[in-house]
């Protein structure tokens, strides 16, 4: 067994190192001090193909392997943990899940722009009473036939203000416990979706962490990921 990186992996490492030194380093302290989201830096990261690294090129991704993603994350995190947090949520929590479990229509509509980095995604699981214990979800989504009526609050959501597409876990049937949780795709701008306060954090301050509120948000049924009750498994994958 040998642990040498392949030529492809070395090329990814080199590209990530150059990006970190040339693009991220100049403004990293200023962005952190002023809690300024790295919008332009993320746009350039997307041009490198690093916002959907493991996603099939057919869906706008770069088709790289997991090791490439880890190498890129390692290089970027060394210097700018805010950028790497934005990148990691988009790559692993949002686009990976959409590619693995989303419908073809969801992939075309949501995954493609996320994998290209034209849009940013957020993953919304945590609540005031549901951190480590994700089964204590209090956000509800009532089945109204052709849509769900979503109500609740999510906390500490990375990319909370800068995202366009939100994967939101909600309880659709409290009687079924964790088997009654679903993951719904919510778009910024849906009526009743409110982006709340931004956290004034001690670290990774350029990444925007928000409270999100959902007040009678109508989410179309076709925005549910997977079979009914798949949400908890989806969140734990
Ligand atoms: C910067 C930042 C970004 C975040 N981004 C997101 C995001 O994008 N999406 C999202 O959904 N959430 C996000 N979170 C929330 C994060 O996932 C939660 O903070 C985490 O799940 C822990 O939950 P908690 O803070 O409620 O801590 P708690 O669950 O209250 O845990 C507190 C401590 O108790 C320990 N503990 C808990 N239960 C047990 C047990 N049964 N036995 C032993 N020890 C235990 C934990 O290990 C921990 O040390 C973010 C948080 C931060 C700080």
Q: How many CA within 13 A on the CB side of residue 174?
A: 7
In the three-class reduction of DSSP (H, G, I as helix; E, B as strand; rest coil), residue 132 is classed as coil
Closest C-alpha to ligand 1, atom 40: 132
Residue 171 belongs to what H/E stretch?
strand 165-171
φ, ψ for residue 116 (rounded to 5)?
-75, -10
Q: Residue 209: name the closest of 73, 35, 28, 34 by CA.
A: 35
Domain around 45 = 7-115
End position of a domain, from candidates 87, 115, 143: 115
Same domain, 25 and 106: yes
ipTM value = 0.93
| pLDDT of res. 200 | 97
Same domain, 162 and 99: no
Residue 195 belongs to what H/E stretch?
strand 193-198
Same domain, 131 and 95: no
Cβ-Cβ contacts under 8 Å for 155 (sequence gap 6 or more): 126, 127, 128, 211
Domain annotation covers residue 1: no
Same domain, 111 and 187: no
Same domain, 229 and 126: yes
Same domain, 76 and 133: no
Same domain, 128 and 202: yes
Name all residues whose Cβ lies below 6 A of ligand 1: 89, 123-126, 131-132, 156-158, 204, 209
Domain annotation covers residue 2: no
Same domain, 136 and 100: no
Q: Residue 158: name the closest of 201, 116, 187 by CA.
A: 201
- Which of 131, 201, 205 for mutating ligand 1's site (highest number of atoms within 8 Å of CB)? 131
Pairing of strands 147-158, 209-220: antiparallel
Same domain, 199 and 170: yes
Per-residue confidence in pLDDT tens, the chain, 237 aa: 778 999 999 999 999 999 999 999 999 999 999 999 999 999 999 999 999 999 999 999 999 999 999 999 999 999 999 999 999 999 999 999 999 999 999 999 999 999 999 999 999 999 988 888 878 889 999 999 999 999 999 999 999 999 999 999 999 988 888 899 999 999 999 999 999 999 999 999 999 999 999 999 999 999 999 999 999 999 988
Partners of residue 212 on adjacent β-strands: 154, 195
Q: Residue 119 is encoded by which pair of tokens? A: 């849009």
Domain annotation covers residue 109: yes
Nearest ligand 1 atom to the CA of 122 is: 8
Closest C-alpha to ligand 1, atom 36: 132
| pLDDT of res. 2 | 78
Same domain, 156 and 91: no
Q: Based on the structure, what is the number of domains in the chain?
A: 2
- Which of 121, 132, 211 for mutating ligand 1's site (highest number of atoms within 8 Å of CB)? 132
Same domain, 85 and 125: no
End position of a domain, from candidates 115, 143, 171: 115
| pLDDT of res. 148 | 98
In the three-class reduction of DSSP (H, G, I as helix; E, B as strand; rest coil), residue 5 is classed as coil
Same domain, 128 and 203: yes
């Amino acid at each position: 067994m040998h642990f040498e990186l392949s030529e492809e992996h070395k090329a990814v490492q080199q590209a990530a190192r150059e990006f970190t030194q040339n693009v991220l380093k100049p403004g990293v302290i200023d962005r952190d001090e002023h809690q300024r989201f790295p919008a332009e830096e993320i746009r350039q990261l997307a041009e490198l193909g690093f916002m959907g690294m493991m996603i099939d090129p057919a869906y706008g991704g770069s088709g790289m392997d997991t090791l490439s993603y880890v190498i890129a994350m390692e290089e970027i995190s060394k210097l700018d943990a805010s950028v790497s947090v934005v990148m990691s949520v988009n790559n692993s929590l949002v686009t990976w899940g959409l590619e693995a479990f989303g419908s073809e229509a969801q992939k075309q509509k949501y995954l493609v722009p996320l994998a290209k980095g034209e849009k940013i995604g957020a993953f919304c699981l945590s609540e005031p009473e549901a951190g480590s214990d994700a089964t204590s979800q209090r956000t509800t989504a009532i089945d109204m036939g052709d849509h769900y009526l979503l109500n609740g609050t999510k906390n500490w959501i990375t990319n909370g203000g800068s995202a366009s597409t939100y994967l939101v876990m909600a309880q659709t049937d409290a009687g079924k416990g964790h088997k009654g949780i679903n993951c719904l795709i919510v778009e910024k701008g849906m009526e009743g979706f409110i982006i709340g306060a931004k956290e004034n954090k001690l670290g990774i301050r350029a990444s925007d962490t928000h409270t999100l509120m959902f007040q009678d948000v109508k989410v179309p049924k076709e925005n549910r990921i997977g079979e009914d009750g798949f949400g908890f498994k989806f969140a734990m994958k």
